A and B are shown apart, each in its own frame.
Chain A
Amino acid sequence: MITKDNIEAYLLDFAEGNLNKKDKEELILFLDNNPEYKELMNSYDSSLVLVPDESIVFSNTDNLKHKSRKKVFFVAFKYSAVAIAACLLVFLFVSKLVIKPVDNENTNLNHETLVAKISPESVIETEKETIKPKTVPTEKEIKPKEEPKKEIEPKIIHSNSLVVYEVDNMVKIIEPEEKEIKLQNVIEVDNMIVFQDKKEIKKNNLLDKLKQNIENRIDKGFKSFNSSIAYFQENVRLEDGGITLYKNKNN
């Protein structure tokens, strides 16, 4: 219903052609009864439109914008991940260097089967630590000569002045002089000499077994077998009744 409160809304719709037939008739009737609004209608000019000044622009749009932090976060995360990985690698490397003593359980070079004679000149006799008899059997019990020959498997490694046998999943070290080594049964692999008691040597099989043995048994704690040997040369000495472990004071 048209009233004095909403007549201007109807006048606007009328000027813009938005009134239906019924509303038009109602408006005409209202204007007839209120002629002062006819004059108001004449004052309305629909062509009077405000035009924005396009020269006015917001110049600091860059200051308003937000740049994503995802990339920064991602890059930071990426670099931190690399840093963590690098730290882990360094830690592992350093731990390998620091944790140098032989882990007999890992290497299977346990004292029960180990017999080694090392020249005294290579050992600095400073501090002495004798292994308890409970864990160290007598020399007689562990001499390779006492082992039945038939049970000796041809998994033998010879390095420097030591000869290493592997028998029944155990490793034995003896002096090469104590064992007759037939030249035809000796081959050289890298810096080590490998021989076996059997008459024939299958080089390929022996080489594979040698590498596997080094990797699986001897070199779990160390990267090379030679370093293990060097350790024994420096620290282990065979004496009557057992093996003596010498520790260098400087260490």
Chain B
Amino acid sequence: MTEKEYNFCIDNFASSLLRFVRKHLNNHQWAEDIVQETFAKVWEKRKDINFQKAKSYLFTTSYHLMLNDIKKEERKENLVSNNIEANSNEFNDISDVLDLAFEKLTEKEKTSVLLRDYEGYSYEEIAQIQDISLENVKINIFRARVKLKQYLVSIDNIV
């Protein structure tokens, strides 16, 4: 990947990468740090990266950085729990409910469904990014959608 292609990736994928990570972490600054670190790593290895697969490489890198960050610092759980508690009684619209429902998913389920819905990746591409089997990707996505649906129904019953 050339320098020009690298800068092209920044222009075209930085924001989508940020949305992907931010949705996971529910923290904008933290997500920006992950994105910056992702691009820094990609810059270091740009000579070995095929531009055609640069986007997948970016998501793969950010995904693993994110998981490592979460495991290392265990910040996310506290942030999420605080966030849910703070907003549990405030449902402005369906998206707020979906945000809360999303937080109930496992990290792998979140990643699979986000890559599918946000970026439109195929199941095979998602399997490659997450380094899991194709079957597991489908299971993740199926479970994620069922959980979201069940959460929406439960909230609807409460309200």
Contact A45/B43 with A58-B15, A58-B18, A66-B6 known, Cβ cut-off 8 Å: no
Residues of A within 8 A of B107 (CB): none
For A66, the chain B residues whose CB sits under 8 A away are 3, 6-7, 43
Are A68 and B3 in contact (CB-based, < 8 A)? Answer: yes
Minimum CB–CB distance for A215 against chain B, Å: 54
Q: Does A13 belong to the interface (CB within 8 Å)?
A: yes
Report yes or no: B149 in contact with A64, Cβ–Cβ below 8 A.
Answer: no
Chain B contacts of A51 at CB under 8 A? 95, 117
CA of A8 to CA of B138 in the docked complex: distance in angstroms?
Answer: 7
A132-161: which have CB < 8 Å to B?
none
B36 on the A face (CB < 8 A): yes
Report B111 CB to chain A, min CB distance, Å: 12
Determine which of A6, A52, A64, A68 lies in contact with B10 in the assembled complex, contact meaning CB atoms within 8 Å: A64
B142 touching A9, Cβ below 8 Å:
yes
**A53 with B19, Cβ < 8 A, contacts A6-B139, A12-B138, A58-B35 known:** yes
A77 contacts partner chain B, Cβ-Cβ < 8 Å: no
Max count, chain B CB within 10 A of own CB: residue among A44, A48, A49: A48
Q: Collect the chain A residues with CB atoms within 8 Å of residue B19's CB.
A: 52-53, 56
What separation, in Å, do the CA atoms of A13 and B142 have in the docked complex? Answer: 9
The reply to whether A8 and B36 contact each other, CB–CB distance below 8 Å, is no
B123-159: contact bitstring with A at CB < 8 Å (1 yes, 0 no)?
0000000000001101101110110111010000000
CB closest chain-B residue, reference A53: B19
Q: Does B22 contact A (CB under 8 A)?
A: yes
Q: Taking the complex as formed, is A46 at the interface, i.e. its CB lies under 8 A from any CB of chain B?
A: yes
Q: Are B135 and A48 in contact (CB under 8 A)?
A: no
Interface residue A199 (Cβ < 8 Å from any Cβ of B):
no
Contact indicator per residue, chain A 26-42, by CB within 8 Å of chain B (1) or not (0): 00000000000000100
Residues of A within 8 A of B25 (CB): none
B15 touches A8 (CB 8 A): no
Looking at the complex, which one of B15, B138, B139 makes contact with A56 (CB distance below 8 Å)? B15
User: Whole-angstrom distance from the CB of B125 to the nearest CB of chain A?
Assistant: 16
Query: Measured between C-beta atoms, what is the minimum distance from A39 to chain B in Å?
Result: 10
Give how many B residues have a beta carbon under 8 Å from the other chain's beta carbons: 39
Interface string of B1-14 (1 = CB under 8 A from A): 00100110011001
Residue of B nearest to A50 (CB): B117
Q: Tell me the minimal C-beta distance from B8 to chain A in angstroms.
A: 10
Complex CA gap A18/B139 in Å reads 15
For B23, list chain A residues within 8 Å (CB).
50, 52
Most buried by B among A13, A56, A63: A56
Contacts of A56 in B (CB 8 A): 15, 18-19, 22, 28
Contact check, B117 vs A64: say whether CB atoms are below 8 A apart: no
The docked-state distance in angstroms from the alpha carbon of A131 to that of B32 is 87
Let me know if B66 is at the binding interface, CB within 8 A: no
A60 to B10, CA, bound (A): 10
In contact, A8 and B142 (Cβ under 8 angstroms)? yes
A61/B14 in contact, CB under 8 A: yes
Q: Is the CB of A44 within 8 A of B146?
A: yes
Q: Which of A9, A15, A43, A49 contacts B150 (CB 8 A)?
A: A43
Residues of A within 8 A of B (CB): 6, 8-9, 11-13, 15, 40, 43-46, 48-53, 56-58, 60-61, 63-66, 68
> Beyond A44-B145, A48-B152, A60-B32: 16 further Cβ-contacts under 8 Å?
A8-B139, A9-B136, A9-B139, A12-B138, A12-B142, A13-B138, A15-B142, A43-B149, A45-B145, A49-B117, A50-B23, A50-B113, A52-B118, A58-B35, A60-B36, A61-B14
Q: Would you list the 9 A-B pairs with minimal beta carbon distance, nearest first? A: A9-B138, A58-B14, A50-B117, A8-B142, A12-B142, A57-B15, A8-B139, A58-B18, A45-B149
